[in-house]
């Protein structure tokens, strides 16, 4: 990765390591635990964990390049404390609790306290109720379903449950020893079995409870056809009130299944973590699949405050998220949280169940994970965009992968083309937000370089480009790519230094598809990554544009050479023709007579020139002829 300003950072960190901190670093144990960073006011500004406190805490003060946010954290550290634990899982739990309590400035944390509602079946009661709750208690004997990000969806599900299963939804438990004198409104309208009035036995009530559990877990789906036949039978027997109740039940169930935009064939209970990241932000989109049905999702955006890895940040976030949310049997994601074993142990201890964090390679759940990732990426585009135009996934990926100072909205690429050292030209193509901007393409004739010398040609083109931008007071590109390896990058960098311009610069070599930085390090991006796909398209477009221009230049040179070999035709004659028509191509669009009159040429000379450029059979201006393009 390319880092900027590393020498200045080293000086800052060297000044920050006081004798007090140096002594504390020497005394750190190599054991698992939590470290607490404090500023000069004694306030906690960062809490972290590690399996080896000595290595981790010392790494903050080592002389290696860091991003600006981590440097700011180090600058604010006045002292630190440690808490040693027996293992990494204990450290993880303690870290999570300290972050929730102190809310340190530099820690990644959930910005809001939003807790989605759940559907709870109070199985520990004599007559279980169906109620809405916002807090999940593990091992309390109750059954929870959710979360429901859309509360209207939860209300709809509870309405379906009331119509179909007719279980109690009261706020207080049913006491069979204290019978009520009259039923509630739901009993009166036929959506409650009335256990508080002793209208149903405990055994019969629990039959409906078991049916509800099977329904919510996706193991049993009501037979709608059978219910419709039953409704028709009731109608034929003139039992219209019973038929109407059954009709409303069928309607509610059909509405419930229609609302399920995503439904699996198997009753999976999974959370899908879609992750999108840039240099400054991470966005997580969590999709909740319960009983094979997608209940909704929650999108969590946050800023990177340190140079911690994405895996570690996701691990911290996962611990915070599942502190207040139900933990499903399986969490599906493409990135492994760090530290993986400790986080898995934390989740298993909290839920008292076997929990898996897995990657899915194919099938319907793979598609749902891709949907979650696309949702996260869409949110990332909205966050990173400074205008109404949404950023492409590729430019966001390039900013992170190449550690660029900002999103490369404008990328320019230069390529050289020649024919064994002759007719040497260059192309400059421009991509804006990952798409070609053809109106800004430019062509260059190489003036100061002879023979085959691509680095010298690159140097000339970059120098001319920069001088033009400076003269016209135009903005520089956010990223400059040259076609080639270390030699081409060095030549382009020389032009940047001579013009006192600082632009992120890389070379892209053909075949290997390897990027070369100005430090001559090689960077291999995944060939299928959005950023790499943009760079390959950019390079290929520059290559195509350069080759086309080179072939045109060669044809132009050959045509001009053949014209100058004609008797009576010299440089001044050619200059006169080009000044009149602007291009040799346009001669073929007019008749011989018009050509001679407009250029004021002798009849014999005009005929020689005209027949050389335009075949004799095309003496009519309306007949198509092959065009010969001129360069700028």
State pLDDT tens for residues 326-340.
899 999 999 889 889
Give the residues across from 479 on adjacent strands: 411
Q: Which two structure tokens, joined as six digits, stand for 255?
A: 């509405």
Helix (H), strand (E) at residue 248: helix 240-259
Q: According to CATH, where is 3.30.420.340 located in the chain?
A: 396-552
Whether 539 contacts 520, CB under 8 Å: no
CA distance linking residue 298 with residue 443, whole number of Å: 49
CA distance linking residue 19 with residue 339, whole number of Å: 32
How high is the pLDDT of residue 621?
41
Was domain 566-618 assigned CATH 1.10.150?
yes
Was domain 6-102 assigned CATH 3.40.1440.10?
yes
Contacts of 78 (CB under 8 A, 6+ apart): 38, 39, 40
How high is the pLDDT of residue 6?
47
Q: Which two structure tokens, joined as six digits, stand for 473?
A: 């007071």
What residue ranges of the chain have pLDDT lower than 70?
A: 1-18, 63-67, 109-115, 150, 153, 176-180, 218-221, 252-265, 385-389, 554-562, 564, 615-632
How high is the pLDDT of residue 464?
94
CA distance linking residue 550 with residue 417, whole number of Å: 6
Q: According to CATH, where is 1.10.150 located in the chain?
A: 566-618
Whether 382 contacts 451, CB under 8 Å: no
How high is the pLDDT of residue 560?
66
How high is the pLDDT of residue 622?
42
Whether 334 contacts 275, CB under 8 Å: yes
Q: According to CATH, where is 3.30.420.10 located in the chain?
A: 270-384
Contacts of 447 (CB under 8 A, 6+ apart): 460
CA distance linking residue 16 with residue 22, whole number of Å: 10
Was domain 396-552 assigned CATH 3.30.360.10?
no
C-alpha distances in angstroms, 510 versus 141, 252, 526, 543, 577? 63, 61, 15, 11, 42
How high is the pLDDT of residue 479?
95
Contacts of 551 (CB under 8 A, 6+ apart): none
Q: Which two structure tokens, joined as six digits, stand for 59?
A: 């790494």
CA distance linking residue 35 with residue 80, whole number of Å: 7
Q: According to CATH, where is 3.40.1440.10 located in the chain?
A: 6-102
CATH of domain 270-384: 3.30.420.10
- Within 10 A of 27 (CB to CB), how many other CB atoms are there? 8
Give the residues across from 286 on adjacent strands: 273, 298
Give the residues across from 293 on adjacent strands: 263, 290
CA distance linking residue 488 with residue 455, whole number of Å: 5
Whether 151 contacts 117, CB under 8 Å: yes
How high is the pLDDT of residue 482?
94
How high is the pLDDT of residue 498?
93
Q: Which two structure tokens, joined as six digits, stand for 340?
A: 């993986």
- Within 10 A of 172 (CB to CB), how many other CB atoms are there? 9
């Amino acid at each position: 990765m390319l880092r900027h300003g590393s020498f200045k950072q080293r000086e800052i960190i060297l000044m920050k390591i006081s004798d007090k901190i140096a002594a504390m670093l020497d005394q750190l144990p190599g054991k698992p635990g939590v470290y607490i960073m404090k500023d000069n006011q004694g306030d906690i500004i960062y809490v972290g964990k590690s399996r080896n406190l000595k290595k981790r805490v010392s790494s903050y003060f080592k002389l290696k390049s860091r991003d600006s946010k981590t440097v700011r954290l180090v600058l604010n550290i006045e002292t630190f404390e440690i808490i040693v634990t027996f293992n990494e899982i204990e450290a993880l739990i303690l870290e999570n609790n300290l972050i929730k309590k102190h809310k340190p400035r530099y820690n990644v944390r959930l910005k809001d306290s939003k807790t989605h509602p759940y559907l709870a079946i109070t199985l520990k009661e004599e007559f279980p109720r169906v109620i809405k709750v916002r807090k999940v208690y593990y091992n309390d004997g109750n059954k929870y379903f959710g979360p429901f990000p859309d509360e209207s969806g939860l209300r709809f599900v509870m309405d379906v449950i009331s119509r179909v299963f007719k279980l109690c939804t009261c706020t207080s438990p049913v006491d069979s020893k204290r019978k009520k004198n009259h039923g509630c409104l739901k009993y009166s309208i036929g959506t409650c079995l009335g256990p508080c009035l002793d209208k149903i036995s405990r055994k019969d009530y629990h039959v409906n409870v078991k049916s509800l559990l099977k329904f919510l877990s996706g193991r049993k789906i009501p037979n709608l056809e059978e219910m419709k036949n039953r409704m028709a039978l009731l109608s034929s027997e003139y039992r219209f009130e019973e038929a109407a109740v059954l009709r409303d039940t069928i309607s509610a169930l059909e509405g419930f299944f229609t609302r399920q935009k995503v439904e699996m064939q198997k009753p999976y209970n999974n959370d899908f973590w879609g992750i999108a990241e840039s240099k400054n932000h991470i966005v997580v989109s969590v999709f909740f699949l319960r009983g094979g049905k997608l209940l909704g999702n929650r999108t969590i955006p946050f800023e990177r405050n340190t140079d911690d890895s994405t895996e570690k940040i996701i691990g911290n976030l996962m611990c915070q998220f599942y502190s207040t949310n139900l933990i499903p049997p399986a969490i599906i994601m493409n990135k492994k949280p760090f530290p993986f074993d400790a986080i898995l142990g934390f989740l298993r201890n909290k839920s008292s169940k076997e929990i898996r964090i897995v990657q899915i390679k194919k099938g319907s759940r793979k598609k749902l994970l891709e949907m979650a990732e696309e949702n996260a990426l869409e949110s990332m585009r909205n966050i990173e965009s400074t205008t109404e135009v949404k950023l492409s996934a590729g430019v966001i990926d390039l900013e992170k992968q190449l550690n660029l100072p900002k999103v490369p909205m404008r990328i320019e690429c230069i390529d050289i083309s020649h024919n064994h050292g002759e007719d040497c030209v260059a192309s400059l193509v421009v991509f804006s937000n990952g798409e070609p901007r053809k109106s800004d393409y430019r062509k260059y004739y190489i003036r100061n370089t002879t023979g085959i010398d691509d680095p010298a040609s690159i140097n000339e083109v970059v120098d001319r480009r920069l001088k033009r931008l400076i003269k016209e007071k135009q903005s520089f590109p956010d990223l400059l790519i040259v076609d080639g390896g270390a030699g081409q990058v060095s030549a382009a960098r020389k032009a940047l230094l001579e013009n006192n311009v600082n632009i992120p610069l890389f070379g892209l070599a053909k075949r290997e598809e390897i990027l070369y930085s100005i430090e001559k390090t090689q960077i291999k991006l995944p060939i299928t990554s959005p950023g790499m796909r943009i760079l390959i398209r950019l390079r290929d477009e520059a290559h195509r544009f350069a080759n086309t221009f080179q072939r045109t230049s060669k044809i132009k040179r050959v045509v001009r050479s053949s014209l100058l070999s004609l008797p009576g035709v010299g440089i001044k004659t050619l200059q006169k023709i080009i000044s009149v028509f602007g291009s040799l191509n346009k001669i073929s669009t007019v008749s011989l007579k018009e050509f001679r009159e407009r250029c004021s040429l002798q009849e014999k000379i005009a005929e020689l020139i005209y027949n050389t450029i335009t075949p004799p059979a095309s003496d009519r201006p309306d007949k198509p002829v092959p065009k010969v393009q001129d360069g700028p």
